[in-house]
Amino acid sequence: MLRFKRFAGQLIAVMPPVLLVVTVISSPTFAEEAVTPAEPPKASNSPEPAAEDVFAIPEGTDAETLQEFLRVLIRTPAAERTPAGFRTHFSKLHDISQEVLARDIDDETSLLAVAIVAGSLDILDQFGDQTAADRKLKFVDTLMKSDRPALAARGRMLDVQAQISQLDTDDKAAVKAMIGVVAQLLQDKPLTIDHGRLAYTAVSAIEQTGDPELITSAAQAFAKYLKTSDDPRLSGLANTIEGTARRLTLKGNPLQIAGKTITGEDFNIDQWKGKVVIVDYWATWCGPCVASMPELIRLYEDLHDQGLEIIGISLDDNRTQLESFIEQKELPWPTIFTDPEGKEAWDNPLATYYGVAAIPTTFLVGRDGKVVATDLFGKSLHEAVIELVKAE
């Protein structure tokens, strides 16, 4: 099912390692533009200026000049959008960045070049370059042996990213070892947003084990170190990681949901004990959420008299728009709305508490007040609700 997921700012959960690397330099267009058709040129009667060679490396070691050059390089799409064309393009980016990296340049510029080299090798691997993976290993090994602390630290981070991507989640001993490796890396000072993204990536991988103890152990360890940073993005990410662990261990446990509804009434899920409850995290701007509403309304109308309740938790940031939608669609159940007050709607405390970073997200609660399932949609949700409602 298509879902909207939070990416910008503090986390990028489902992007492949190449994009995680490139995001370090705040330029997601590095890979996106490579597969996005270019805009056709607009007609003009003016003579066209001579094309600038974006691949021509500026002379010297001036940080501002080289960093601007590298950022333009990242935003430059492949001329030929075929596997061979991509291989040619990213081979060129790799070679240029290596040449920049060989100069006597500052750490910030070096790390920018490192990101392009590593990202290019990942993309080359994806497009069939049989040598790219081995070259990436050798590049990372060289970085880790660097006598420059910033480069050695980045090499360690890239090495751990690779280990996470290859983690066998069926091997509990390997997962425990990985938790220790990431926790050790999070003791670096100062911590950066890259450390936070690495921690979130690790939690996402460990989530695949389905082992509540391992997930909780990882989340607690990572959040503890992230909270030592003064960077509010890292403390926010620590809360999200803790919430993720809380959500992933919800099954069989009671749910804590309380707040003010859009109509100003106090709500607490405890008031519905003895009922079957669907908790629906959604927003009016979320296409998949809106598309699922007719099915939820039918389900509610069919089974409300038999004990089904629904509570919506809106991640909207516009009260008027939400009120208009509820009135127009005649949603018959209450909706909790928290005014973001200048923050992102994703920072809704009920979303953060359970690490909700994608919508729609649903929790299904049984008559005993305990969570039966999370993230059920469509037919699966319908069948699970009917089974619970009829199990008097």
Question: Is residue 95 situated within a structural domain?
Answer: yes
The reported pLDDT for the residue numbered 210 is 84
Q: Is the pLDDT confidence value at 21 over 80?
A: no
Number of domains comprising the chain: 2
Same domain, 178 and 265: no
Q: Kind of pairing, strands 276-282 and 308-314?
A: parallel
Question: Is residue 49 situated within a structural domain?
Answer: no
Question: Is residue 99 situated within a structural domain?
Answer: yes
Confidence band, pLDDT 50/70/90 cuts, at residue 4: low
Q: Is the pLDDT confidence value at 179 over 90?
A: yes
The reported pLDDT for the residue numbered 170 is 93
Of 199, 225, 248, the one marking the end of a domain is 248
Same domain, 231 and 367: no
* 97 torsion bin: left (phi>0), alpha (psi -120 to 50), beta (else): alpha
Same domain, 117 and 233: yes
The reported pLDDT for the residue numbered 392 is 63
**Average per-residue pLDDT in the chain?**
86
Token pair belonging to 18: 């190449």
The reported pLDDT for the residue numbered 3 is 55
Same domain, 104 and 63: yes
Residue 304 CA to residue 389 CA, distance in Å, equals 9
Q: Is the pLDDT confidence value at 20 over 70?
A: no
Same domain, 323 and 298: yes
Confidence band, pLDDT 50/70/90 cuts, at residue 372: very high
Question: Is residue 324 situated within a structural domain?
Answer: yes
Same domain, 239 and 263: no
What does pTM read for this prediction? 0.70
Q: Which of 278, 260, 286, 302 is nearest to 357 (CA)?
A: 286
Of 197, 225, 248, the one marking the end of a domain is 248
Residue 221 makes CB contacts below 8 A (sequence gap 6+) with 179, 182, 183, 186
Of 220, 248, 276, the one marking the end of a domain is 248
Q: Kind of pairing, strands 361-365 and 371-374?
A: antiparallel
How many residues does the structure list for the chain? Answer: 392
Question: Is residue 46 situated within a structural domain?
Answer: no
Orientation angle between helical segments 172-185 and 193-207, nearest 10 degrees: 170
Confidence band, pLDDT 50/70/90 cuts, at residue 10: very low
Residue 208 CA to residue 256 CA, distance in Å, equals 25
Q: What average pLDDT does this structure show over 95-123?
A: 96
Q: What average pLDDT does this structure show over 210-214?
A: 87
Same domain, 155 and 286: no
Question: Is residue 265 situated within a structural domain?
Answer: yes
CATH number for the domain harbouring residue 278 = 3.40.30.10
Q: Is the pLDDT confidence value at 348 over 90?
A: no
Same domain, 209 and 304: no
Question: Is residue 267 situated within a structural domain?
Answer: yes
Question: Is residue 220 situated within a structural domain?
Answer: yes
The reported pLDDT for the residue numbered 15 is 32
Q: What average pLDDT does this structure show over 21-43?
A: 38
pLDDT digits (tens, 9 = 90+) for 245-302: 898 889 999 999 999 999 999 999 999 999 999 999 999 999 999 999 999 999 999 9
The range of the structural domain enclosing residue 278 comes to: 258-390
Q: For residue 358, what are the CA distances in angstroms to 14, 21, 34, 46, 316?
A: 11, 22, 26, 48, 13
Q: Residue 349: is the preceding peptide bond cis (ω within 30°)? A: no
Q: What average pLDDT does this structure show over 41-49?
A: 48
Share of the chain above pLDDT 70, in %: 86
Same domain, 234 and 372: no
Same domain, 180 and 308: no
Q: Is the pLDDT confidence value at 12 over 60?
A: no
Q: Which of 84-88, 112-116, 187-191 has the lowest mean pLDDT?
A: 187-191
Same domain, 262 and 243: no
The reported pLDDT for the residue numbered 50 is 46
Q: Which of 223, 386, 338, 354 is nearest to 279 (CA)?
A: 354
Same domain, 133 and 269: no
Please state the three-class secondary structure of 115-149 as a single string.
HHHHHHHHHHHHCCCCCHHHHHHHHHHHHHCCCCH
